[in-house]
Structure 1
Amino acid sequence: MLEKPPELTELVGEGPIGATWKVRLPDGRGGLAREVRLPDPAALEAAADRLRRVERLNDPALAPVRGWWSQPGAVWYATDQEQGEALAEMLKTGPLSPQGAAAASLGVLSGLVALHAEGLSHGALLAENVRILPDGRVRLDGHQLSTLRFPTDGELAAELRTAGRLICDTFGIPLERDPQAPPKAIEHAAPGLVVTARSIAFGNLGRDIELARTGLRDTAGPLAAPERLALGVEQLADMVARRRSGSTIQPEPRYRGLGAGAGAPAMPERRLPTSTAPAGPPPPVPPSPVPPRPAYQPPLPAQPSQPPPAPQAPPPAPAPAPRPAYQPPQPPLPAPAPTPAAPPRPSYQPPQPPPQPPASAPPPAATAPAPRSAQPSRPAYPPTYQPVRPSMPGVIGEDREPILAGRTRFIAGAVALLLIFALGAGGVWAARGLLAQPTTTAVNSPSPAQPTPATGSSPVPTRSPGPAALPNLGPAAAGIITGVDVKPDGACDVGGGCRLQVDIHMKPQPADHDVSWAFKIFDRCTSGLTDAPGSTFTSKGPWNLLSVSSTLTLPASRGQLAVYALTTSPSTAYTASPLLLGNEAGC
């Protein structure tokens, strides 16, 4: 309460309940003082108590009370002189742009949150009392003395329904969906936002104003991002400037898919020139002068006709060029002396096998192979691949062996058969190792129970590891959940932050219920599975789609990550097609 009423400088207007004056506030700034005549002393006391509560709020979404005072039969309060433009006037030309509508809607809900938290209601929530300031900020006015009593729960719920209708008007959302008409642009761009706005307008949220603001911000997606809200405030400021300059050109609302993240390049906004003066009627265009008609000229006497000119003779044809005289052919020049040819390069000769002893000579005794070290050293030369040809008794490659070698293999095969009957399955594996052993000599062959790989054989190449196949973590539908989709809602970097939009499809229910979701991240290089938390949202019973946004931190990976979204309540269902992030070729 002001100790001394400010000086009234100029009368602005006179209404049925009081007058409005321009005043000079104690701090030297200009302001407006509004008079409210209340002859009842009890009403004067209630008005003074309400002004004390409103003055303490000091919320940027509410028009401030700079001071108040009372006199017999009336109470006065002072506010800012700058009142901005009414939202009702701006909506006469159509809905706002998506960014401007988001800024205006969240501003209205923020003002109501401040009033309801103090136990007060607005009392006159109309589009005329939603003011857009020259800098684009949105705040509520007309709440100072619109009512003098505390509201009931039913009145708070009714005020929230009115706010929902204002939100639908700013976005251009029809309250009732016409099945015969084509969908609006906003219904294609942000279906979750449309469902939330209609739910607020129909009273599905009761009197919970904080839930309404949170739900609108979550389902607005990128429109609620700070940079997009700043763009909306800038557009609202441009609209105020155009109205005050007298320009009738309105910006064209531009909608785009909201799955593009806030980091994606925005659609260029068209900047329309603003005129500095009211457009007047065009100046009159002077009529173009009519050229004078030429004076009458009498016809001249007919002149004798001239004979036509004689045709000219065609120019003589050019004389043909003389043919050149015959020139006898020149004798051929002597061929140059042949240069000595370079000696031919010797052709590649494959290495010859070592000489074999004659067939009559007995084969030399083969020495026992030296024991191999546990870790053989790698040869300095690359091993060459030696094809294994089918061997016949007494024949290895192209060289013949004595008949004794074939008999020796026959004996070894018989021994293997005996081991099969004697040792069972163990003998089978031992005999298999013996028969798979390539024969290198006719005597001193390795024991069948200890097969030894042939010396000089090529190592078996190993398959390079690639990206692992995508796992099936669970059912795509369960209970009332009919499907879960996930897509980026902004920039997503492997090893950094990522904002995701989760669309949860479900069957309508007779009552409200909580829906919880989470994430699982599969690394296709390491096959590791990482859990990431989600959140919980209370879904209304008739809803069949819930669009929410969550921010999480992705683990680092050298390859590709697969992000699965899943519902954990009321039933567990997984994304059928996970979101793939990163480079698949990095594994």
Structure 2
Amino acid sequence: MPESEPKPKLIEIVAPGAGQGWKATLRNGKAVVIHEIAAPAAEAAAAVPRIQRLAEHRHPALSPVLAWGTDPNGIWVAAEPNEGTPLGQILARGPLTPPAAAALGAAVLSGVAALHEAGIAMGGFGAAAIRVTGNGDVRLSGHPAAAVRGAPSQSDLRADVRSCGMAICAAFGVDPAGAPAPPAIPPGLVVTMRSMASGAMGPAADRAQGALREMASALLAPDRMTAAQSELALRAGGREMPSITPFLPKETYPPAPPASVIPPVLPVPGPFVPPTPKPDEAPTPRPSASYDAPPRPLETYPPNAPPPYVPPQRQEEEPPRPGVGYEPPPRAPETFPTVPPPIPGPPAAAAPPIPTWDEKPSGPPSSTWDVVETPEAAAPAPAPPKPPDTWDTPAAAATPVETPAAPSPPSPPVPTPVPEPPKEEARASWTAIPTPAWSPAKEREPVEAPAPLQLEPEPEPEPEPEPEPVPAYVASVPASMAPTPPPPSMVTRAPAPAPPERKPPAPRRPVYDQPSERPSWLLPAVAGVVIVLLLLVGGGVYLAKRGGSNNPVATTSPGASPKTSPKASPKASPTPSQVAGPLPVPTYAPASADPITRVLFCSPATPCNVPGKPAETNTSCSLNGSCHVEVAVYFSTAQRGPIAFAYRFFDRCANTTQDIAGPNPYSPPGYTIVIFEKNLSLPAGAKSAGLVAVFSSPASAASAPLLMGSGSCT
């Protein structure tokens, strides 16, 4: 007899009744419970592969089969001695939290889907068949007994899904009949579990599992799954969940029991009597005082010396810091020695009138100012020749400076005007600003003394009276110009003639001509566009006239006999060729293709065998009459995908093929044999024909032809 190991010796009966078992010990020393399942010898032999599959391929949501075997009474299986706490006992203390209920439902549906895939259906189960272990794992028990039965039916599969829906509704605390559900449960999840409980979800357990996971995705998050497993472990051990769980929202855990109304009685403290200290000992503080404010008495004793020493040190360090910040600039000390020389000189007050150019040249500047006005009018034209004059005038200025140097000894106060050089330097710095903006000013500012000398030679009649005051004005200049730096500064700034070169504002004048230039090129462009349009219109008219002249020539051809275009000789529509004898039926697809092993027409000649059932032979077809076909398709593995095929009618005399629609695609829940029945309307007029069932899904395969009619075409 097939078995995983010899049947162990039965020691003691456990749980007498329908689910009774016997205590026993396997060869490896593991304590188990033996369950005996009575079944005829034929059914027991047929159930051996399913029991063996359960033992070899264990599922976490199914109670494991530790050992199995057959005996004259049926089949025996060895299971865990303690499969867990029944779900009914856990829910007797109240529903689970939404995360725990969702985890339980997903586990139960996973176990049922595994059974259906193995070709086993329990046909419905109760809360006692769902067990929760001490680790929080959910398992389905009682399935070995279901494996002894034959192939499951649609009603058995649907009953399993309905049982899962009822268990999930009970875990969530939802009424399957339609009473209001708790507000903490999403409405979509409520509709899903009620659809399973009512049978509307269908017999497919994997579809129900996918719907539950989609609607309860938030409750099946990894962190909530951990909390749910902890809750299931606590409930399986007979303990309630704590009042606060860090992994669950406040609205998800069960409500806390009502608190007692009786207020607690607090003890009334008695009066405090301080102990009397002994005369030789100091009073000891109360023990409670050490717990009232320990740090405060310690803060009153810190030494006062450290705090006063710290502030003075900080104040001493602060003053030198700002001084260091002002030490880096070295220019400040250099400027201070230069300031005292201008202080003793009273002419410092004359500095403000210097930039005005009104008080100092009171006598001669009048002429210079007038002369300046005259060149201003003609400034744009003679501007380029003026720079070379400035180069000559400085040389002339150097000669008069030497002449007044002789009378310098009788003038002792000359050293006092020495501070005047900074004034002139100030003039130079002040004049340097407007130099780029006004070219004549450049000549006046750098050469204040020789300025009149430059202007005097230009007007020939006036130079005679002016040279007399000029030496007096120049006499003051040598004292200030004694340091030669101003001339070099003048030489460096002499390249200022560059600004006159900027005078090419002449290019700007074309700006006023641009408005007239735009129409100049726009007009030709417009004219060109007009010409193009005229050419297009003229060409169109010409072509129209030319086309009109050709039409009558083509239509009016006197004396020409009407000719018809050559046409192909009419051909008869393709008609089926008649043959002397019936042709063989062509091969439309191979006879088998994985996972399809064969396709048959269930007829008395080729019966379709089904394990545990009588053979199917309901195919009956005749030409020009009724046709009832029964097609069986065999698979190598349990099929769960869609199955689709069509019929092909072949006229063996006319050599034509016609397609006849087959049944709608069907997805079995895990069958290896599927039989289709249908009444067909065959084409009329055929004398000998063949009918073939051609499958397109899940693979391309065809049946042997079903021959109809006579064996001749006459």
What TM-score, normalized by structure 1, do the two folds share?
0.43
Give 1 or 2: higher helix fraction. 2
Between structure 1 and structure 2, the one with the greater Rg is 2
Structure scoring higher RCO (CA < 8 A, sep ≥ 6) equals: 1
What TM-score, normalized by structure 2, do the two folds share?
0.36
